[in-house]
Amino acid sequence: MTTTTTSTPTRPSAAAELIADFVSTGGRLTDRADLARFLREHRLVTEGAIPITLADLEETLTLRDGIRALLDRDTTPDPETLARAQKVLDGLRVTVRLEPTEHSESPLAPAVVDEVRRGLSRIAGAWATVLATDEWRRMRL
């Protein structure tokens, strides 16, 4: 008797999908309007005006480049790129949820009121989730 096993492809988690979208923005994230659009499209901020500074954009791009460097299996990550991205993460304020919510993909929640930093904190939470589940190792650029 022959037994065949079929495997069902595993769908990426919401956190992995967010990280994949974030690192693949490339030329689509070049100015403050692009950043506002990305944050809104991914529901990382509330509706309404988002005051975005050039420093906010720079931090976002720095974080994206650091995560992208870790996910790029074809090259060795530049330590300076990783250090700059880590500095962005170190500056974000997050808190741990006592109870999970229906709409959260991460146990981490933003602990800030600034909309851009709230969005970056949610990206950081998604990154923490893919790290904790080891899903980042299956992600490809």
On whether the CB atoms of residues 110 and 121 are closer than 8 A, the answer is yes
Residue 2 has what pLDDT? Answer: 52
Residues of the chain with pLDDT under 50: 8
pLDDT at 37: 92
pTM: 0.84
